[in-house]
Amino acid sequence: MNYPNGKKNNVKQQSSDPKYGFSNRGMTLEDDINATNTFYLDRDKAIIHKKPTPVQIVNVHYPKRSAAVITEGYFKQASTTDYNGIYKHKYIDFEAKETKNKTRFPLANIHEHQIMHMKSIIDHGGVSFLIIRFAVYNETYYMPAESFIPLWDKQFNGGKKSIPYETIKEEGYVIPFHYQARVNYLEVIDKLYF
């Protein structure tokens, strides 16, 4: 599709045919959240950004003066969650995960330091949650940290190392796909907090 100014639109067209559904558009959950956050920022709805991962660069190779290549680096510290910002005077902090699993969400996708971080956000009055996409079903869920953390903790008391898909459907909130705000999680936050 071309815009009137002659530039091409990079977004692939969706089809009503399930085999060409949302997961086959060439977009990832992160791409969709980043596009949503840009939409929010452009319309002055919220200021939410992806957190940079702190990396210590150790070695750089300079094959040309204009092209530096990082050949060795290390994570400075364990990262917390993927995104943070502010919406309606509330601090927002969340992790985004995508799974191809049909029946469960593996808890190995989340780390203990992330859970501790989410607990701190809640203790200080912020909004913390996970966005979980089941790619096979083209479904994206908002899972409040208050609901997710007890399920995560159960694995240490003889519980399962995953959360069943059905539990996420029951405990979470489906985030419908929108053209501009692809993962419109603020809609869920409005229902829960405002």
Report the CATH number that the domain containing residue 75 is assigned in CATH. Answer: 3.40.1350.10
What's the token pair of residue 190?
A: 């409005």
Is residue 67 within 8 A of residue 105, CB to CB? The reply is no
pTM of the model: 0.77
Q: Is residue 85 part of a domain?
A: yes
Q: Give start and end residues of each alpha helix (H) in the chain.
A: 29-42, 112-123, 145-153, 165-171, 185-193
What does DSSP assign to residue 75?
Answer: E
- Tell me: is residue 56 an annotated ligand-binding position: no
Q: Is residue 170 part of a domain?
A: yes
Q: Is residue 9 part of a domain?
A: no
Q: Measured between alpha carbons, how far is 63 from 175 in angstroms, rounded to an integer?
A: 46
Q: Measured between alpha carbons, how far is 15 from 84 in angstroms, rounded to an integer?
A: 33
- Tell me: is residue 80 an annotated ligand-binding position: yes
Mean pLDDT (the chain) is 85
Give the pLDDT score at 54. 67
Q: Which residue has the higher pLDDT, 186 or 21?
A: 186
Answer whether residue 153 shows pLDDT above 80: yes
Q: Measured between alpha carbons, how far is 38 from 175 in angstroms, rounded to an integer?
A: 17
Tell me the per-residue pLDDT of 5-23, one tens digit each, with 9 for 90 and over. 444 444 433 333 333 344 3
Q: Is residue 2 part of a domain?
A: no
Q: What is the dihedral of CA 100, 140, 38, 80, to 10 degrees?
A: -70
Tell me the per-residue pLDDT of 108-128, one tens digit each, with 9 for 90 and over. 999 999 999 999 999 999 999
Tell me the per-residue pLDDT of 55-94, one tens digit each, with 9 for 90 and over. 777 788 888 777 888 888 776 666 789 999 999 999 999 9
Q: Is residue 7 part of a domain?
A: no
Tell me the per-residue pLDDT of 29-65, one tens digit each, with 9 for 90 and over. 999 999 999 999 999 999 999 987 767 777 888 887 7
Give the pLDDT score at 17. 38
Q: Measured between alpha carbons, how far is 79 from 60 in angstroms, rounded to an integer?
A: 23
Provide the domain limits for residue 87. Answer: 18-193
Q: Is residue 5 part of a domain?
A: no
Q: Is residue 29 part of a domain?
A: yes
Please report, for the chain, how many H helices and E strands are present, in that order. 5, 10
Please name which of 177, 175, 72, 110 lies closest in space to residue 186, comparing C-alpha atoms: 175
- Tell me: is residue 95 an annotated ligand-binding position: yes
- The helix/strand/coil state of 82 is coil
Number of domains in the chain: 1
Cβ-based neighbour number of residue 140 at 10 Å: 26
Q: Is residue 134 part of a domain?
A: yes
